Structure 1
Amino acid sequence: MTVVIGFEGSANKIGIGIIRDGEVLSNPRRTYITPPGQGFLPGETAKHHRGVILTVLREALDEAGIKPAEIDCVAYTKGPGMGAPLVTAAIVARTVAQLWGKPLLGVNHCIGHIEMGRLITKAQNPTVLYVSGGNTQVIAYSEHCYRIFGETIDIAVGNCLDRFARVIKISNDPSPGYNIEQMAKMGTKYIELPYTVKGMDVSFSGILSYIEDAAHKMLSTGQCTPEDLCFSLQETLFAMLVEITERAMAHCGSQEVLIVGGVGCNLRLQEMMGVMCKERGALLFATDERFCIDNGAMIAQAGWEMFRSGHVTELSDSWITQRYRTDEVEVTWRD
């Protein structure tokens, strides 16, 4: 049996998870939440993580009933993500690896999401839509690489939602995206927004500028409600994502879609993707907020796969990087 502990801290979540041969033994996390209208800054986020990471580590070990001696490998998020939060998690992972005398493994954050999704849903070889606050990519596996078929050419879909939430002062608790999803259910009027698909890629910054402007004009004159704007933004963004996912499926001859990343637990996105899959006779796989939103177990699971196929990160090479593309990793653990 192989036991791996994973440290995730690439954004405003700090999580530590323990995996034993595909079984999630523990997965506690904490979220840094800022007041409405504010985002989270790297320095302040890292300060939050430093304040709670040892408590989360103790929780992970206690909940799993695992002692350090039973752990085979320590995995941490190498990137991509925000520099200061990434460093916080990496330093603690590096320290415990040395204290416990265990090998260390730097994991690509995006691949953590994919491997967690595959583990939980049992999807075989899906086309992956990876949607979060920092990333938007359509991915398919081929010849030892997770290849990116399409992506955002500017901001991520989650970043677009988060920044719109700041404009109309939606609460960040538990997350701006979740609160937009709830408000969208009460929207009745669709406001037409720019729809920007460029081949296999998408662009969200123009939509954000447009809806920010519309919010100031239309809300003040009573032409629509905040709920209408949330509804319109979700419908437009998600339609674009479903379109490029379907195009990638057609190219790959794929009959499975796996949605991963924090935005992936949005039920409206899952519903829209489900309609497309049903029309194609394909299967949709998605998880809930326990495994979609950044967590330590996903880093442990990717680390488990990598460690068993012979990967280890030397201490001298155990740095972090804010830019680390999904297709830079050699996927030696898949056929």
Structure 2
Amino acid sequence: MIAIGLEGSANKLGVGIISHPSPGKPAQILSNLRHTFVTPPGEGFLPKDTAKHHRSWVVQLVKQAMAEAKVMIKDVDCICYTKGPGMGAPLQSVAVAARMLALLWEKELVGVNHCVGHIEMGREITGADNPVVLYVSGGNTQVIAYAEQRYRIFGEALDIAVGNCLDRFARTLEISNDPAPGYNIEQLAKKGKVLLDLPYAVKGMDCSFAGILSSIDVLAAELKANPETKDPITGEVITTADLCFTLQETIYAMLVEITERAMAHVGSSQVLLVGGVGCNERLQEMMGLMAAGRGGSIFATDERFCIDNGIMIAHAGLRAYETGFRTPLEDSTCTQRFRTDEMFIKWRD
């Protein structure tokens, strides 16, 4: 069976085509294209502008994906699209495009939970059996484990997501958004040496990032006012790289802590990192050390599958389609709030 997936919950528009040859065999990725809406340094992306970007590019990406996959319209079994969660206007643009294709090609629709798409693609690529999932992105931060045909949320961000924290600090520093603000912070952090004091907000398996962002913004303002600012403990001159290093070390330590607590709670030895922030090499390193200390292992993918993409929507949608799930045209809406545990995972035992 073959499905085409459309993802556009934030500033990345993705179109992917996937084939599931037969039960028990690995999926075949036929095409996986993406186009990112990039704003100038110091600016975020507004919903209306992002939606306009998606509308402008979706037809071209679908045509390119079909050509790259070498499939005809008659070969496609269903049209999968991101139902939520995400930004309202971009989600609507993708939903309209999916309905257009369904009507034009006379195909059935499948609405997909964005978070479940990340998890299912991560499991497919890495081969992770039944891991604790750390889902970290611009809009979501969740610790998840599977139980009784639901992905259960054990912990999450109480305010802003970890990716949003990184993105907003990149705006404070006015560094480039190309290819991604979090990636550019990661490169700066590799040059940092001084670890400064920041709040550490972990509450059980939940965490908070808003106060950390406020604190690091204050440090950035002080550094801008006085470039010769020194660390009161070491006496070393503080740099922008040190701020990035400090922010990463603090928030990733928090994520490792809540993930380890979830692993102990459910008795799992596997960790799967998904979402755009899951590409971060330092986060992978820290999580790997923790997992190894517990006699376990870490599973992660590269930017092709960590960052929002159409193939994950196609894959999760086709999994649901194979079990008989359909989204009627009159119900092919989208929602900014679609909890991970709301979706029934019929294809898993």
> TM-score band, normalised by the shorter chain?
over 0.9
Alignment of 1:43-54 (within 5 A): 43-54=48-59
- The answer for the alignment partner of 1:81 in structure 2 is 86
Q: Match of 1:285?
A: 299
Q: What does 1:63-102 correspond to in 2, within 5 Å?
A: 63-102=68-107
Q: Give the C-alpha shift of residue 101 in structure 1.
A: 1.0
Which amino acid letter does the alignment assign opposite residue 216 of structure 1? A
Whether the aligned pair in 2 keeps the contact of 1:219 and 1:226 (CA below 8 Å) is no
For residue 8 of structure 2, what is the aligned residue in structure 1?
9
Alignment of 1:1-335 (within 5 A): 2-21=1-20, 22-221=27-226, 222-223=228-229, 224-335=238-349
- 1:98 Cα offset (Å): 1.2
Q: What SS is found at the alignment partner of 1:264?
A: helix
CA apart distance, 1:102 = 0.9
The 3-state SS of whatever aligns with 2:265 is: helix
Q: CA deviation at 1:218?
A: 3.0
2:317, 2:348 → 1: CA distance?
A: 14
Deviation at 1:310, TM superposition (A): 1.0
Aligned AA for 2:19? R
Q: Indicate the SS of the match to 1:186.
A: coil
Task: Give the match for residue 24 of structure 2.
Answer: none
**Percent identity between the two aligned chains:** 63
Q: Return the offset for 1:219.
A: 3.9
What is the CA–CA distance in structure 2 between the aligned matches of 1:92 and 1:181, rounded to whole Å?
A: 34
Q: Which amino acid aligns with 1:90?
A: A
> Deviations along 1:157-189, whole A, 9 cap, x unmatched?
000000000001110000000000000000011
Q: Counterparts of 2:250 and 2:324 in 1: how far apart (Å)? A: 43
Q: SS where residue 335 of structure 2 aligns? A: coil
Asked if structure 2 preserves the Cα contact closer than 8 Å seen for 1:34 and 1:40, the reply is yes
The equivalent of 2:234 in structure 1 is none
Q: Is 1:19–1:25's contact at 8 Å kept on the other side of the alignment?
A: yes
Structure 2 unaligned spans of 5+: 21-26, 230-237
Deviation of the 1:99 alpha carbon: 1.1
User: For 1:67 and 1:97, how far apart are their aligned partners in 2?
Assistant: 14
SS of equivalent residue, structure 1 residue 254: coil
Give the superposition deviation at 1:70. 0.1
Instruction: Compute the TM-score of the two structures, normalised by the length of structure 2.
Output: 0.95
**Helix, strand or coil at the partner of 1:27:** strand
Query: CA RMSD, aligned part only?
Result: 0.6
Distance 1:135 1:271 in 2: 21
Partner SS state of residue 187, structure 2: helix
Question: Could you say which residue in structure 1 is the equivalent of 2:23?
Answer: none
Query: Shift of residue 304 of structure 1?
Result: 1.2
Q: Which amino acid aligns with 2:37?
A: Y
How far apart in 1 are the matches of 2:56 and 2:328?
27
Secondary structure at the counterpart of residue 44 of structure 2: coil
1:261–1:292: 8 Å Cα contact kept in structure 2? yes
In 2, the alpha carbon distance for the partners of 1:313 and 1:51 equals 25
Distance across 2 between alignment mates of 1:308 and 1:27: 21
Bigger mean CA offset, 98-107 vs 215-224:
215-224
Question: Conserved in 2, the CA contact under 8 Å of 1:219 and 1:225?
Answer: no
* Letter of the structure 2 residue corresponding to residue 170 of structure 1: I
Aligned with 2:196: secondary structure?
Answer: coil
TM-score w.r.t. the length of structure 1 is 0.99
The letter of the residue matching 2:75 is E
Q: Is the 8 A contact 1:49 1:88 kept in 2?
A: yes
Q: Distance in 1 between matches of 2:241 and 2:150?
A: 41
The Cα shift of 1:228 comes to: 0.2
Deviations 1:125-176 (CA, angstroms, capped at 9, x unpaired): 0100000000000000000100000000000000000000000111000000
Kept in 2, the 8 Å contact 1:5–1:18? The answer is yes
Q: Distance in 1 between matches of 2:302 and 2:250?
A: 22
